[in-house]
Structures are given as structure tokens and as C-alpha cells.
């Protein structure tokens, strides 16, 4: 038995945010042969549940950059940020007027200033604004709607004061390159946190123990699979902890060059079904 941990965006998902027939077939063949395939993503648990249901896929996953581990539909392990660190992180972000979201044990919580801060960020990066397609611009600027899993708040202290609410991850948008670097340096000064990115315009903050490597290890322990029998496939810096932990590390053809450098293998791009290529080469009938 082997365990294959797969990132979503830029990896399993195409540039059109779909899972190809080739990838689906390879995953199902691997599962039918007794292997475990898991998703290891920065996305929130609710979003991953919905995606898997859309494709009729059943597999364990580690959400919010590995901080929430779900097996057989149940949360098995969860790593949350300490509330003082949540407050300090939010204060830094708000000093830069950076839009951010909180991934929590009760869905996603968003400051009501989200839309205004997005508009401010776009004004500070006119070059980016000019490159966005109409769809990309609408997706970026559209005000999220409140649902059962999306909530809004006025002040970060309102979230801190909710005793049964715990934050697993900050997802931060910062469209101004210089401010993004400055923010990352300030955030790195905070103790007990992991600071990473999954794209050129975002920053992600978790507890220092919370990362995709933790998620991969947790699922491997559950199924009694040795780490040298694990494969991790990813494309960006938030994937590095699971790539370093896995027995075989695989970078997508579209991965960041620095991620490719640390991996054992480089596969095809996400639009060329790179995940299916790796599963067929290293998992099926092995």
C-alpha cells in the first residue's frame, strides 16, 4: 500500500479549476488497487468537501494547509493558532489595510472591510489591475455573501472573544509586491507561527506545527503506512513541508522553480494531467 498526497490548486486542478478525466481515472485505479489517495490543500474543509462531492471522490484530506485532517468524513486532528497570535497577526494586517480571511472550526470569517481593502490594494497596483480579465476582476472584487459557512465580523476582538471559535489559518491578499515583502518580514517576527505562500499575491499564516507535512504524517499514521511509502505532489511553497516529509517528492511542471529544485521528480503541468502521469508511473501495479 502507498499513500499519495495531492495538492489542489496548480496541481490536481487544471488552470480552469477542474479535475481532468485522466486524473480522476488514475486516482480511482490507485484506490481500487488498495492505495490511499489524499488531498492536501490550503483550501478550507467546506470547500474540499464540496469539490470531492462534485466529482464523486471519496478520500481523506488535510485542509487549511494541513491543519485540519479529515478521514472518513470526520475531523481526526486539528491544529489551531493561539488567540494572542491571532490578535497580533490581525493587527499587522490591518495596519497595512490588507484584506484577509480566517479559516476556522466554524467556517470562514471575513472582516467587513474586505471589499474596501481589496479596492485599496488594486489602486496601489494599477499594473495588475490592467492585466486582470473581466472574470478575474469580478472574482477578486466580488463581496462574499454570508452563508452557513461564511461569516462577517467588524473587529478582530469580536472573533477573539468567541470562546468556542478557533482559527486554523489566515489567508491574506496583498497585491502590492513591496508591501507584501514588508508584511512577511513583520509576520516572521511573531513567535510560534508558520508563514508561507501559495501564490505571488498571498500570504498564509498558521500555528508553527500546522503545515501540509503534519497533514501527510497524520494520515500515514492512521493507515499505518511508512513515510517512505508516501508520495507528495505539489507546485508552491505551502507544499514544501509535505514534499520534504514524503518518501518521493514530485513538483508539477508548472511549479515554482525553487520548489522544483527540492523535489525528486518533476512531472507534467496541471493542464497536462501531471498527477495521472505520476500515479501511473510510480503507483499502479507497483
- Specify the residue for cell string 478520500: 59
In three-state secondary structure terms, 153 is: strand
- The answer to whether 69 and 142 have CB atoms below 8 angstroms apart is no
Catalytic residue among 7, 9, 235, 239: 7
Question: Residues in the chain, how many?
Answer: 286
Cβ partners under 8 Å of residue 243, min gap 6: 232, 234, 249, 250, 251, 259, 262, 263
- The answer to whether 108 and 151 have CB atoms below 8 angstroms apart is yes
Cβ partners under 8 Å of residue 224, min gap 6: none
Nearest to 4 by CA among 52, 50, 41, 40: 40
What whole-number distance in Å separates Cα of residue 222 and Cα of residue 214?
Answer: 12
- The answer to whether 110 and 102 have CB atoms below 8 angstroms apart is yes
Which sign does the torsion angle of CA 143, 147, 153, 156 carry? negative
Report residue 181 CA to chain centroid gap.
20
C-alpha triplet 266, 271, 277: angle, nearest 5°: 45
Report residue 2 CA to chain centroid gap.
23
- The answer to whether 234 and 269 have CB atoms below 8 angstroms apart is no
Task: Assess whether 106 carries a catalytic annotation.
Answer: no
Which are the catalytic amino acids?
7
Amino acid at each position: 500500500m502507498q499513500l499519495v498526497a495531492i495538492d489542489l490548486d496548480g496541481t490536481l486542478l487544471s488552470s480552469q479549476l477542474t479535475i481532468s478525466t485522466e486524473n480522476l481515472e488514475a486516482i480511482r485505479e490507485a484506490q481500487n488497487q488498495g492505495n490511499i489517495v489524499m488531498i492536501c490543500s490550503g483550501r478550507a474543509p467546506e470547500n474540499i468537501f464540496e469539490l470531492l462531492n462534485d466529482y464523486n471522490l471519496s478520500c481523506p484530506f488535510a485542509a487549511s494547509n494541513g491543519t485540519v485532517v479529515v478521514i472518513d468524513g470526520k475531523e481526526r486532528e486539528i491544529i489551531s493558532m493561539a488567540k494572542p497570535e491571532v490578535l497580533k497577526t490581525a493587527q499587522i494586517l490591518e495596519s497595512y489595510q490588507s484584506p484577509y480571511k480566517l479559516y476556522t472550526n466554524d467556517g470562514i470569517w471575513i472582516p467587513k472591510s474586505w471589499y474596501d481593502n481589496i479596492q485599496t490594494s488594486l489602486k496601489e497596483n494599477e499594473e495588475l489591475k490592467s492585466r486582470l480579465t473581466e472574470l478575474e476582476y469580478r472574482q477578486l472584487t466580488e463581496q462574499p455573501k454570508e452563508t452557513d459557512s461564511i461569516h462577517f465580523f467588524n473587529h478582530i476582538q469580536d472573533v477573539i472573544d468567541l470562546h468556542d471559535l478557533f482559527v486554523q489559518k489566515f489567508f491574506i491578499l496583498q497585491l502590492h509586491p513591496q508591501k507584501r515583502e514588508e508584511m512577511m518580514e513583520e509576520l516572521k517576527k511573531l513567535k510560534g507561527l508558520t508563514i508561507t505562500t501559495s501564490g505571488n499575491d498571498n500570504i498564509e499564516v498558521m500555528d508553527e506545527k500546522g503545515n501540509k507535512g503534519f497533514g501527510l504524517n497524520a494520515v500515514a499514521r492512521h493507515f499505518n503506512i511508512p513515510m517512505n511509502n508516501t508520495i507528495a505532489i505539489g507546485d508552491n511553497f505551502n507544499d514544501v513541508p509535505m514534499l520534504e516529509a514524503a518518501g518521493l517528492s514530485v513538483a508539477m511542471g508548472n511549479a515554482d522553480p525553487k520548489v522544483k529544485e527540492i523535489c525528486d521528480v518533476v512531472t507534467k503541468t496541471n493542464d497536462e494531467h501531471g498527477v495521472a502521469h505520476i500515479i501511473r508511473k510510480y503507483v499502479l501495479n507497483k
